[in-house]
Structure 1
């Protein structure tokens, strides 16, 4: 095996390390490749074409899928328009696009049924399998403690029961910033981790209760000479309300800013997208009592950003659904209210303020949903049921396009004029929803163009899909060392055909590329980054081998804190400016808690005739430290004579091969007498999410290992000749018979492919 030199990058510095050359392999997360803009756009607004998405449902909210162009009546600024393109697009798995006569065609939960059953590993999505893209935005800047409890339950239920195969989902917190756009995924593990980190934030616009409580004990004294002597309590309350409204306004502006960033990022994602905003309040109107005179006015600091956000969502093919998390509330006196020293009239005035605030709070949410073709969920205590309504609504939509007739779209002096769109269906009993309209400027030429090196690399990193200008494959593993602690070791395979090599004299070939790797925490904020520009210079057989098999770049990142991380990497060929990117989600356990944990799995395949030393029996073999050490040496680049196609970085195996796997077991409990662990191991194999093989449960023998807190384990499986080509998942389950029942099982998995 030919070895080349790459770099091990860490917070402590960069030192060269040898690595084995390996061919390309798709790693744990597959993402949709770039497609042409025309194929991706759902909403298009140009000087001679307007294309919109339209939802049609019956009175029960069920999709109507058999309408034709003749059933629709389209008007722009009250002028009738002729439909020129028409199609129905189904987003259900396995569905095909149904078309009408006049135009061209424009699953179950993966959580186990029993509590102690190991989870089914996620199946990486192929590009054509992405059916729906959904951003669940939790407005923790304005969610009460009471509401947050029910929101977390609804999110868990969505991931458990309502998320379907082909869904690409992100759970985003407005208090965490728009950086969590990096977390669009089909991996339920990542979404469960995101749900667990959704929590109530004190000192924000919303308090403990979903509705404001009456509490006179917190009101200041009334000696202020500016207080109205005829009604001091009400005057003080008006001042408190004024301060509260100003503070709420600041948080609402912050929420809109985050959502604007999310929608702007989603614009570059293909197809029709959905954003579900969950909040207690987003007010448009404000009620002010000035010198005893009540006034209701529009909150322009919120109204204008709302209009801009709705227009951006419409042009980005994003449908916004909103959910008022307060649900149904009693608006009369409760046991939590403190009405001491208040008269009956004063109590009624406070209750009137409460009722008015309850009515005004969701108005901004209603506006966003109405303007972008979604709907608002309010006065509903079953938040999980509300999300189910949204899922039902996303089963499909109609694409309707027309050439504007009688419109001055794009004409001089018409900039920023709003064009109102209305669509009606002639069939009785059918309800139709679409976007309310658009402002007068064309989408042509408004797409983001990245020119500089930094813009191109960062653009690839923040996109939820892989850039495919340079083919990158990422395999990232967690491990722990007694001296250096926890770390992530990542192998980035680079296809040398996508790099530009130039002749450098005397048979040498040279290429220069930029690479940037970032790790993001569970809140989407960047934890660490490594970036460098590299020049490689090679010739002869080494050049030929690299062009045939590619090469591997190793990134080693120390992990200071346990938690959920996402590693994202981007590479740019300096000569051609082609960019590639890849990402992977990694869970780092807290080793200091002394709970059973596993490292990442190293897997390779060996032909039966080349096995040395002899491997265990074809059935799941007893775990052996030798297997793990052999695999570890192979991954680090020792010149062991193994098939690189079937190596740990690539894992392209063939029928009849022996699959060898290795891993480390951390924090196994020890028998007080023998000072030995009592561990059971088992392996399972899945194909396309379905369990196809369950190995026998076997006792683990630690042999003569010295570090009982970091046990090396491994084994082998004979791949049957009847195994079909395709993608598979190897899962390892370890059970500690000496640990407490709720912490006695650890699971790890890795994908491989049979060709």
Structure 2
């Protein structure tokens, strides 16, 4: 481009010296880039009975699949063996009955919750080693693992992820700086005897001798061979008092422990997909109430929660079963003294509590029994009395992999981004099924309709009614060259920095921002013809934070569309702030007109260099410089705006093209200037930069391309703030 000297208010100028290289127009396309092929849906199903156990003898006639209330014809139904999904992902070919299909795989979502429970400093090390061994196993692609601590509430130690390296690190640092609440007594207390004080009075003829004998608190050497624990009188009395306290409050302890399990099931039960809990613990004390415990199992099975309990004690001389036997032995000893006369007050108290002590011996000493019942009652199993966890962990992985796969062709061929709800019905009322409850109907772009997780979140925002509006952002579209069948266009999305929430990072003296964006272009029928998405994390130094707040983040997307009427739907997710906003605006692509043509007039926010390869389909790029468009169209009084546009001369017209620039404020023409345009570049186009005039209030810059009697007019409206 060349500089054009224009007096008065308007000044035409080139941004760069020298000629602008030709814009390479993309090759003509026959239509929107949509693969119009029949899509096969592959739906994973996990079927369990009322006790949470997987059902492996289901037949195709036992299953009905509905999509948006319409029953679908099932093409195939088969059980999927362990690790078949991983082999398929690795590229091992599997035979299919139909080869001309673009499968949409709706795999079962596996949520694995590693829950630490009742761990003391000694057992923590074994627990971490066991968890790291579990994480090393190969998991299905759609398996997400989270790490939790279970106390009076369920606390997330690390969010769900399928990144094995992150999980190994999270397991290693799970207890760093985090206080643990211990609700059960030590293992020594489990096997100690309660303290008893016996007062013996020997009455003589002239005096009485009173003897106080304190017993209890001794540790069972059967359960603790070689235990290095003091058995002195003081230590035994203290330990015995703890046993007495544990006995008196055992029911309260059992209530609290079962309340923890109820909290865990209730909170994890709200998660999607198959919920597998690896409960890493030292044991579970219950109230002994079978109805209360059965209600916990029923709730877990209704919520799809399967528990695999892992007793961190492993294979050692310390055995909770032995502890239970010792406790039962104490009760038997008390029973043998029931008929004895002249018992002390303490002994009589023990006799009166015989039944309670028996119940306590069964439910609080052998803490593995309740873990086994919790695991097997929800379809899992107990891992205990072993130091080799590889085989049981492999068994868990096989349970996670096992499922049925059903395939069908959706009866609807409308791909508009809306959620298609899936319902699976079973012929047997005693069975429960887990599957994806729906999917977003997206067309098959470039051979794949797979959505990234952030795109799914944005689609959920677009499907919400009403659309979310937690913050402001602007969307706009600009038309460029039209070859008669397609038009070059640019979509722009502008997000004010002040709209985002940043998370401070004191260690690095920065703030974290994270923006996700999804835009769908829909034709008049609602069918999606183009998709654009971006997921962008930012780490902003604290000293740059004011500048970011005062500026905007702009994303652009070039798209080629045939003439017609479209709608652009956009969702933006502020991931650090946990908020979203969405909007929609119409986009019209006119038919190509004969004669001179002109692009939209783009108000330029800034100019930035292009690094790397130049996108030839982007009309906002020239001379390795990129015009960043402004979508908000609101200017400060100190701004010095320019606009960018492209003139397309009529090659069949010998007249020299000219340009007319008008500046309007409040609807009144304040300045008008006409000037000749420079010669077209080798591509036949004339890119131009115009300095826009400023006046407080509503302004309009109207530009008309003239060539003989033909003309084309475009304008841009903007608002200037008062000084």
TM-score, scaled to structure 2: 0.39
TM-score by length of 1: 0.38
> Based on CA coordinates, which of the two structures has the bigger radius of gyration?
2
